[in-house]
Amino acid sequence: MVYEAESGDLTLVASGDTMITRRLSVFREPQFMSLVELFRQADVGYTNLEMLMHEYENSPGMAGGTFTASEPRNIGELQWAGINIVSTANNHSYDYGEGGVADNLKNLRSAGLAHAGTGSNLSEARAPAYLDTPKGRVALISASSTFHEAGRALDQRPDLKGRPGLNGVRFSATHTVDRTAFDQLRRISRELGLEASNAAQRRFRPAGAMKKDTDTEMGFMGGRFDVGEEFKQTSKPNQRDMDENLKWVRDARRMADWVFVAFHCHESGATRDEPPEFLLTFARACIDAGADGFFGHGPHVTRGIEVYRGKPIFYSLGNFVFQNETVRWQPSYNYESVKLDHAATPADFYDARSQGDTRGFPGSSIFWESVVARCEYKNGDLSGITLHPIDLGHGQPRSQRGRPVLASGALIKKTLDRMDRLSRPFGVRVSVRDGIGSLRF
């Protein structure tokens, strides 16, 4: 007799970034409830939780962007909508320092929502989350390439505690320029005294800590440049970070029936629509190590899809819930960044930052048009993927936008045409029927 959990069948619905600040369960529109049912009917409902669930118990941490906070009760709103596993490694993981990391984890545990990507030390941050379903045990590993160094979790030592934070994957980038540009960079470095400063640092720091400059390669303003025939950028993941994450993928492969990896990445290739080279390397390595799928997010726009060795790689699923302008409080740093004083209110800040919804995220529709992916597995193999376009309400008032509904009208074609165009370089085509995208690969 074959039990359901041994069937090798699984339905997973995956979404991108969730920045939730408000209740979902009060809404009843058919386009919204149909989207909710898509998650509820799946065995696994996944999103990247790019919001810290806490009550402002801690002071702000690293400055930059929206400092995220949402009432812990909103975890239940996600569960109501069919989300049963989330990733937490992203550039907002450390918005409220170590205390914010701890409070977010405490509240997720209290709500019983499976989560991966942050922890009280590096091992905890890298370790998989496990979700038991009728179709077997599901593992999720979560990592991010976009983070402040202070927020990266550290290993424990026999003589010192580890540092709470996220599972960070570092990378290195090399900029290739022609000889004329390279010689100009060298002249600038020399005349500004940067070359002499770097030389002094090489003598001071341990041998080999800083690469030497040569006639064809040099360091400049924190980057590496080399001489070539064309202008381009190449990148690769930090080998130790990749190896350690792949170790946990292989561990999860022996501990669960299904293994998935989530990755938060703001970085891009030649254009915002293209994933960086290091992400392609990392994603494919995860599949080689045993992952059944890879879910990318971070740039707040959709990117292409690859099916590698029969497994799906979503390089970015864009946004899912995008309520980053109704976070209740922001620190003084943010007000000062838009020249507001202590008497200003949160709405004053959000208005000033977007200059009346003309700049930033409110200023472009691309951030408010996305997809939800439904992955069907049969007998252990991927049997099909459908893409369901969603509309997050670009142009609506702040109080209305950010909640996803299934898209309608011309937006369906616009969203899926983009997914088709961006997936073609990976050998994947997206066709449209009855408002839903189907993948051919």
Do 305 and 218 have their domain in common?
no
The answer to whether residue 76 is domain-embedded is yes
Q: How far apart are CA 293 and CA 377, in angstroms?
A: 11
Q: How far apart are CA 385 and CA 302, in angstroms?
A: 16
Least confident of 79-88, 194-203, 326-335: 194-203
Other Cβ atoms less than 10 A from the Cβ of 314: the count is 28
Interval 335-348 mean pLDDT: 96
Do 58 and 190 have their domain in common?
no
Do 195 and 279 have their domain in common?
no
The answer to whether residue 350 is domain-embedded is no
| pLDDT of 62 | 77
| pLDDT of 63 | 66
The answer to whether residue 353 is domain-embedded is no
The answer to whether residue 21 is domain-embedded is yes
**Tally of structural domains, the chain:** 2
- Contacts of residue 289, defined as CB under 8 A and 6 or more positions apart, other chains included, come to 246, 249, 250, 253
Helix (H) or strand (E) run with residue 196 in it: helix 194-204
For strand 381-391 and strand 436-440, is the pairing parallel, antiparallel, or unpaired? antiparallel
The answer to whether residue 14 is domain-embedded is yes
CATH number at residue 402: 3.60.21.10
pTM value is: 0.96
Do 249 and 123 have their domain in common?
yes
Do 63 and 201 have their domain in common?
no
Q: How far apart are CA 62 and CA 58, in angstroms?
A: 12
Please say if the pLDDT value at position 151 is more than 80.
Answer: yes
Do 320 and 369 have their domain in common?
yes
The answer to whether residue 436 is domain-embedded is yes
Task: Please state whether 199 falls in left (phi above 0), alpha (psi between -120 and 50) or beta.
Answer: alpha
Please say if the pLDDT value at position 371 is more than 90.
Answer: yes
Do 94 and 214 have their domain in common?
no
Residue indicated by tokens 């090798």 = 8
Domain range for 405: 4-158+162-166+238-329+364-440
Do 261 and 325 have their domain in common?
yes
Q: How far apart are CA 227 and CA 194, in angstroms?
A: 19
Do 18 and 87 have their domain in common?
yes
The answer to whether residue 107 is domain-embedded is yes
List pLDDT tens digits, range 408-440. Answer: 999 999 999 999 999 999 999 999 999 999 998
The answer to whether residue 413 is domain-embedded is yes
Alpha helical stretches, state H, 257-301:
277-288
Do 296 and 383 have their domain in common?
yes
Interval 79-91 mean pLDDT: 98
Please say if the pLDDT value at position 1 is more than 80.
Answer: no
- Contacts of residue 322, defined as CB under 8 A and 6 or more positions apart, other chains included, come to 17, 19, 300, 361, 367, 368, 392, 401, 402
Cβ proximity of 39 and 45 under 8 Å: yes
Interval 259-273 mean pLDDT: 97
Do 190 and 292 have their domain in common?
no
Task: Please state whether 134 falls in left (phi above 0), alpha (psi between -120 and 50) or beta.
Answer: alpha
Do 215 and 295 have their domain in common?
no
